[in-house]
A and B are shown apart, each in its own frame.
Chain A
Amino acid sequence: MRKLALRTVALGYLALILLGPLSVVFWRAFDKGVGPAWTAVTTPDAVHAFKLTLEITAIAVPANTIFGVLCALLIVRRPFPGKGVLNALVDLPLALSPVVVGFALFLLYGRTGWFGSWLSRHGIQVLFAMPSMILATAFVSIPFVVREVVPVLREIGTDQEQAAETLGASQWQVFRRVTFPAIRWAVAYGVVLTTARSLGEYGAVSVVSGRLAGQTETATLYVSDRYENFDIVGAYAASVVLALMAIVVLVTMNLLRPKEGVH
């Protein structure tokens, strides 16, 4: 009896908060039929926006993955002074407003910023161009691989690695044959989270990109751009594409989650 009540409350809340909004995206996108929606997402600006999002993700995710694995190895296997600071910096993007992230980058690379003058003298464009957007995306998605790998590394302990050493393996061989296979599902899950965060980034890139349509607009910026120009169908159509990407991410997350063991 009590179980049924709890279940109703939980599912009711979820329906209200989750399902409603999700179904509305599809409804509004196809408000005037599939045709206009399709046209909206195949305009040059739209295509460019999605391409840009994918390009940025394709750079930020591998970089953060390599960093994530190495950082996790460092944190778990080799304590060093200042480890606490490192941990805090890695976790900070989880708790920090993306607008603040964008603003910090804006200050660093802006004309009056620390790097700004040097960069403009050498004709390197960081702000209002792809480099800053990559940096912003990397910043906000940095924690995920690290946080997924650290507990797994801790749990497997060093015995297997030491055994491999006594059997003659070099450090690289130990990593490739023993350590990495043990953490690969954690890494995979971390990669999915990192990708999701990168695809969906909005606040930080809003600040650093300048939002030039057809040039420095990512998919998420494109959505808000369409909305501000009263192109409702365009905005929702692009949102549908993003929502579909999100669903793919969701499915992948849940397929990988059981395999990753300790969470």
Chain B
Amino acid sequence: MGIHVEGVTKRFGSFTALHDVSLDVPQGSLTALLGPSGSGKSTLLRVIAGLERPDAGTVTISGEDATTLAPRKRGVGFVFQHYAAFKHMTVRGNIAFGLKIRKRPRAEVRARVDELLALVQLQPFADRYPSQLSGGQRQRMALARALAVEPNVLLLDEPFGALDTRVRSELREWLHRLHEEVRVTTVFVTHDQEEAMALADEIAVLHDGRIEQVGSPRELYDQPKTPFVMSFVGSAAQLGERWVRQHDLDLRLEPVGGAIEARVERIARLGFEARVELQLADSDTIWAQMTCAELDRLELERGATVWVLANQARVFAERP
């Protein structure tokens, strides 16, 4: 069950947004499609929703082949980045829309809408118009609207992208609790790796129309399979052939076997942690991450010479 995407390719004119992409989304899971702009993550989501038709490949939802089905027949709930609120309807009207389309009896519609208003905590705003709501409230309404018709699958396209930071983290928490309660298979698209790591059970990392790796947040961080995944989920520095995480860089004041000489360019204290910008012999610049306590112990100054050791460095095989 869940969602199964097999060999999907999608082109827009001469631009290929998705190359032969395959993905399995387990039933009831909360999965993130993570990647930079242009990686194809939104396209993949829209292909699953039926808002785009793939040029090749299949999409199976809850065991049924949905590749050629119109969106309205797939049982998917879709939430847009900019809410797509029906501006001329009240909050109640928006949430009731899917049920009214299906010609459900009035009493049933009213009961279900009240249930959802309670779920998303928008009861006081039931008779307001979307323009009278804040961004976060509009997005909660959009979620309630999508859930009203009990979809098999819930798809969210950068749902918090248009909101400011504080609202974003509030809604993130809120979506997590919602998923615990409602348990519908959920896929969301984001370019924010922190959001993906905080929310998702499983993350699929996309790059240039291909899936580079699928795994739990921990797997992706601890065992990245490609340089892109390593630098996108968390961050990494490249030393020649080796890739290492900034917090795995060890700075010594004396030369040590295997260490690289570097000069301290800049020191920045960021609350608990500190960043030390280093210029390497071959004029590459990297930065090392450590706690301020560790920085104090080293007593570093601008222009000082240090020796850099890379713990836990990784080498990646050449792409076939």
Contact = CB atoms under 8 A, between A and B. Distances in A.
Q: Are any A and B Cβ atoms less than 8 Å apart in their complex?
A: yes
Interface of A: 159-160, 162-170, 173, 177-178, 181-182
Contacts of B82: 159
Contact of B86 (A160, A166, A170, A173): A160
Contacts of A167: 72, 77, 97-98, 101, 145-146, 148-149
A184 B99 CA distance: 24
Given A159-B82, A173-B101, A177-B97, A166 B76 contact: yes
Interface string B73-100: 0001110101111111000000001100
A163 B149 CA distance: 13
A168 B152 CA distance: 13
B51 A178 contact: no
A164 B97 contact: yes
B84 A159 contact: yes
B98 A168 contact: yes
A177 B100 CA distance: 10
5 contacts: A162-B80, A165-B70, A166-B78, A168-B98, A173-B101
A112 to B, nearest CB: 50
Nearest to B80: A159
A181 B101 contact: no
Given A163-B78, A165-B70, A167-B149, A181 B88 contact: yes
A178 B86 contact: yes
A168 B101 CA distance: 7
A177 B49 CA distance: 21
A173 to B, nearest CB: 6
B136 interface: no
A168 B146 contact: no
Interface string B18-53: 000000000000000000000000000000011100
Contacts of B87: 160, 182
A168 B149 contact: yes
A10 B83 CA distance: 45
B57 interface: no
B97 A166 contact: no
A169 B87 CA distance: 17
B51 A166 contact: yes
